[in-house]
C-alpha cells in the first residue's frame, strides 16, 4: 500500500479496516478502540458497516460501542437484503408481463457474490433496458401496484457504453426464489462496476469492495479480452480500478492484466479517492440529494450546489473520456464542469417549470 499518498490519518485506517473483509475467512482487524470509534460513522455513512463488523466480530473490540453499532447495521442490511430480493423478483415479473426484459447491474447482481447476505447493503435497483424500451419501461414501472426505488438506465451509456444487444446476448439468468433474474456476464459486470466506481468519483469504499469481490469471485474461464474490450479507454479504466483495489484493499490480482502492469498508479489518483473517503459529506453524495433546479429561489444554496458540482479528478477523467495517467487533472475538471454546465443551461427552462 502506498502510505505516502494518504492525506489524512483516517485514510490508512479505512483501507486497513475493509481489506479482505469480503472473504470467507478475513483476518481480524488490527485497530484500537479509539480508531474504530473514529471510523464507525464513516463506514456506516457509506454502506461499509457490515464489512467493518466482519473484521472486528472475533476481536477484543466486539463488545465496544462502535462494534455494537456496526453489528446493528449488519443486521439491518440483512433484513433489507431479503426485502430487496422480493422487490427485484416482483419488478422483473411485472416488466416481463409487458414484454420488457431488463438487465440488473450492481445491487443484488454483485451482492449475491459476497459470502454473506448482509455484507452489502441494498440500495436502489439499477436496471438497464434497450434504448427503444426506455420510455415504455418508465411508464410501466409507474403502473406497478407498489412503487420501488428503481434507477432505470437507457442501455449501458452510463456505464461506459457498449452494444446493448451484445451485452444482452452474453448475459446470464440467475435464480432468485421462483424468478430468474437477468444479470450481465462476469466480464461485462466487472467492467460496469469499475467504470461506475470511477464515474462516480469513487466516493464510496463499498464500490471498491464490489470490484474486489467481482475480480476474486470470477469464474475460471473469465475472458479478459471480453472484459477490457477493444476500447483502450475501457482497458485503462478497468485496470486502474483493479489496481486501486489491490493497493488499498489488498485484492488478489493474480492472473489478471493488472498484475502484469508494473507502472505506478498516477500519484494524484489515490489521494483523490481517499480524500472522498474521509468526508462524512462527500460532494458527490450531496449532489445527488437535490437537483440544481431545486435551489433556484435560494441563492446561497444555489452557490453551494455549484461548488458541490465541481468534479473530483477521478469523476472528471471519466466524464471527458480521458485516461488515468500523470497528466494534470485541472483541464479535465474544467472541461467536465463546463460541459455539465452547458447541458444544465439547455435543460434549465424545463427544470424550472417542473419545480
Question: pLDDT per residue over 241-255, tens digit each?
Answer: 999 999 999 999 999
Cβ–Cβ under 8 Å, residues 274 and 334: no
Q: What is the pLDDT along the chain (355 residues), one digit of tens a residue?
A: 444 444 456 777 999 999 999 999 999 999 999 999 999 999 999 999 999 999 999 999 999 999 999 999 999 999 999 999 999 999 999 999 999 999 999 999 999 999 999 999 988 999 999 999 999 999 999 999 988 999 999 999 999 999 999 999 999 999 999 999 999 999 999 999 999 999 999 999 999 999 999 999 999 999 999 999 888 999 999 999 999 999 999 999 999 999 986 788 999 999 999 888 887 666 556 555 555 455 555 555 555 666 678 999 999 999 999 999 999 999 999 999 999 888 877 766 665 565 5
The whole-angstrom separation of Cα 226 and Cα 203 is 27
Burial class (CB in 10 A: 0-12, 13-18, 19+), 323: middle
Cβ–Cβ under 8 Å, residues 136 and 100: yes
Q: Which residue, chain included where needed, has cell 472473504?
A: 23
Please give the C-alpha separations between residue 238 and each of 160, 172, 259, in angstroms, as whole numbers: 11, 21, 12
C-alpha grid cell for residue 277?
473517503
Please give the C-alpha separations between residue 152 and each of 47, 78, 97, 133, 291, in angstroms, as whole numbers: 22, 24, 17, 11, 17
The whole-angstrom separation of Cα 268 and Cα 317 is 12
Q: What is the pLDDT of residue 354?
A: 58
Q: What is the pLDDT of residue 299?
A: 56
What backbone torsions phi and psi does residue 127 show, to the nearest 5 degrees? -120, 130
Q: What is the pLDDT of residue 295?
A: 52
Q: Which residue, chain included where needed, has cell 442501455?
A: 155
Which residues are bridge partners to 146 per DSSP? none
The whole-angstrom separation of Cα 28 and Cα 34 is 16
The whole-angstrom separation of Cα 209 and Cα 204 is 9
The whole-angstrom separation of Cα 191 and Cα 106 is 11
CB-facing half-sphere around the CA of 56: CA atoms within 13 A: 30
Single out the residue of 57, 59, 93 nearest to residue 75, CA to CA.
57
Cβ–Cβ under 8 Å, residues 164 and 127: no
Q: Which residue, chain included where needed, has cell 451482492?
A: 111
Q: DSSP 3-state assignment of 191?
A: helix
The whole-angstrom separation of Cα 270 and Cα 7 is 9
| Strand arrangement of the beta sheet that strand 103-105 belongs to | 103-105, 125-129, 150-154
Q: What is the pLDDT of residue 4?
A: 43
Single out the residue of 276, 117, 124 nearest to residue 208, CA to CA.
276
Question: Within the chain, where are the H helices?
Answer: 10-18, 33-45, 49-56, 65-96, 107-111, 134-142, 164-170, 186-199, 205-216, 224-228, 232-249, 257-260, 267-278, 283-289, 299-308, 313-319, 330-354
The domain segmentation of the chain, as residue ranges, is: 3-276, 281-354
Cβ–Cβ under 8 Å, residues 123 and 149: yes
Q: What is the pLDDT of residue 127?
A: 98
Q: What is the pLDDT of residue 12?
A: 77
Amino acid at each position: 500500500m502506498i502510505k505516502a499518498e494518504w492525506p489524512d490519518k483516517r485514510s490508512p485506517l479505512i483501507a486497513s479496516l475493509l481489506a479482505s473483509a469480503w472473504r470467507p475467512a478475513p483476518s481480524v482487524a488490527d485497530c484500537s478502540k479509539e480508531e474504530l470509534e473514529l471510523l464507525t460513522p464513516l463506514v456506516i455513512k457509506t454502506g461499509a458497516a457490515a464489512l467493518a463488523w466482519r473484521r472486528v466480530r472475533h476481536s477484543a473490540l466486539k463488545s465496544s460501542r462502535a462494534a455494537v453499532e456496526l453489528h446493528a447495521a449488519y443486521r439491518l442490511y440483512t433484513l433489507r437484503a431479503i426485502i430487496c430480493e422480493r422487490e427485484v423478483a416482483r419488478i422483473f415479473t411485472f416488466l416481463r408481463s409487458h414484454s420488457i426484459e431488463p438487465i440488473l447491474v450492481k445491487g443484488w447482481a454483485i451482492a449475491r457474490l459476497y459470502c454473506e447476505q448482509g455484507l452489502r447493503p441494498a440500495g436502489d435497483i439499477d436496471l438497464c433496458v434497450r434504448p427503444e424500451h426506455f420510455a415504455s419501461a418508465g411508464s410501466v414501472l409507474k403502473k406497478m401496484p407498489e412503487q420501488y426505488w428503481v434507477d432505470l438506465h437507457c442501455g449501458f451509456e452510463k456505464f461506459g457504453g457498449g452494444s446493448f444487444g451484445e451485452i444482452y446476448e452474453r448475459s446470464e439468468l440467475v435464480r432468485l426464489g421462483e424468478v430468474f433474474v437477468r444479470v450481465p456476464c462476469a466480464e461485462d459486470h466487472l467492467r460496469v462496476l469499475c467504470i461506475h466506481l470511477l464515474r462516480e468519483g469513487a466516493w464510496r469504499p463499498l464500490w471498491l469492495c464490489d470490484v474486489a469481490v467481482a475480480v476474486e469471485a470470477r469464474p475460471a474461464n473469465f475472458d479478459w479480452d471480453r472484459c477490457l474490450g477493444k476500447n483502450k479507454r475501457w482497458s485503462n479504466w478497468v485496470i486502474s480500478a483493479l489496481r486501486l483495489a489491490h493497493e488499498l484493499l489488498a485484492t488478489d490480482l493474480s492472473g489478471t492484466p493488472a498484475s502484469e502492469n508494473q507502472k505506478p498508479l498516477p500519484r494524484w489518483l489515490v489521494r483523490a479517492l481517499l480524500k472522498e473517503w474521509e468526508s462524512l459529506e462527500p460532494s458527490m453524495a450531496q449532489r445527488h440529494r437535490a437537483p440544481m433546479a431545486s435551489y433556484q429561489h435560494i441563492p446561497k444554496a444555489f452557490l453551494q450546489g455549484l461548488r458541490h458540482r465541481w468534479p473530483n479528478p477521478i469523476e472528471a477523467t471519466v466524464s471527458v473520456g480521458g485516461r488515468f495517467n500523470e497528466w494534470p487533472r485541472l483541464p479535465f475538471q474544467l472541461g467536465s464542469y463546463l460541459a455539465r454546465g452547458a447541458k444544465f443551461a439547455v435543460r434549465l427552462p424545463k427544470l424550472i417549470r417542473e419545480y
